[in-house]
Amino acid sequence: MVRTLSPAKLDRIVDAALDAFLASGYRNTRMDAIAGSAEVSAGTLYLYATGKDGLFRLALMRAFHVPLPAVAELPFGAAVDTDTVDWLWSPLRASSPFTALRAAAARRHPDDHELEFRDVIEELWAWQSRFWRAIRLIEKCAGEWPELELLFYLDFRRELLGLGAQYLARRMLQGYIQPYPDPDTAARVLVENVAFFAMHGHGARDSADLSEDASHATVLKVLERAFVVSPSRSPK
């Protein structure tokens, strides 16, 4: 009997795979557990993906809001065009241009240093809030996948934190940002404070009752008070 593939069933399988990889990591996620969560048989699962590698790529696509393949292209295999880690670089960079941060790091003097700082924080928040599942999925699996760890931590995050440190160091020297001892540490303080509430707060047991809008406004206010020198103390 020929089985008809269904976009709705593909959605269910991909959602189940994403939840399973987020909970258990890559190595400890079992195909039968994904099938059970998606309410399909193990045999049906293999009509949609050729194996765990394919399901992991599909989970990343869902987390990065990349369109899933059409049913005519199934079963999906991760090696259809390129290695998963190589493929990941494209949606990771496309999702996070960090335009405001790059501009701030390159700009010699800001027209409005308070607005510049706010734009940098808002951009970080928007990215981490929208793609929190993708970031958490990468972090969850990076420890057991050396190439993934290298891509995310030593390439992507190093660039992000480097831009942040460059921006903060220049503004500290100019008197627009509080003169903290180490710009590299200061950049991590910014990124990690935004990350906790915009990303890690999703699903955290002690954060379920927090309003994202209220957290957003509060974190922005706290960071502005901690970093930005008020206009009355700014260079003329």
Provide, rounded to the nearest whole percent, the portion of the chain with pLDDT above 70. Answer: 92
For the record, the structure tokens of 234 come out as: 């700014």
Backbone φ and ψ for 228, nearest 5 degrees, come out as: -85, 130
CA 211 – CA 172 distance, rounded (Å)? 33
Rounded distance between C-alpha atoms, residue 117 and residue 167, angstroms: 10
* Among the listed residues 3, 84, 80, 1, the one whose alpha carbon sits nearest the alpha carbon of residue 47: 3
- Domains with residue ranges and CATH for the chain: 7-81 (1.10.10.60), 87-233 (1.10.357.10)
**b/e for 137-166, b at 16 or more Cβ within 10 A?**
bbbbbbeebeebbebbeeebeeebbebbbb
Q: Position of tokens 């001892």?
A: 181
Cβ distance 59 to 21 under 8 Å? Answer: yes
State residue 82's pLDDT score: 62
Contact between 25 and 144 under an 8 Å Cβ cutoff? The reply is yes
How many angstroms separate the Cα of 18 from the Cα of each of 33, 87, 137, 174?
12, 17, 8, 45
What is residue 202's predicted lDDT score, i.e. its pLDDT? 75
Q: Which residue has the tokens 């709705």?
A: 8
CA 166 to chain centroid, in Å, comes to: 22
Q: What is the pTM of this model?
A: 0.90
pLDDT(122) > 50: yes
pLDDT in the model for residue 43: 92
Are 39 and 15 in contact by the 8 Å Cβ rule? The answer is no
- Condensed to tens digits (0 to 9), the pLDDT of residues 139-184 reads 999 999 999 999 999 999 999 999 999 999 999 999 999 999 999 9
- Whole-number mean pLDDT of the chain? 91
Q: For residue 107, give the DSSP letter.
A: -
State how far the Cα of 157 lies from the Cα of 159, in Å rounded to an integer.
5
Among left, alpha and beta (phi > 0; psi -120 to 50; other), residue 175 is left
Q: Is a pLDDT exceeding 70 seen at residue 59? A: yes
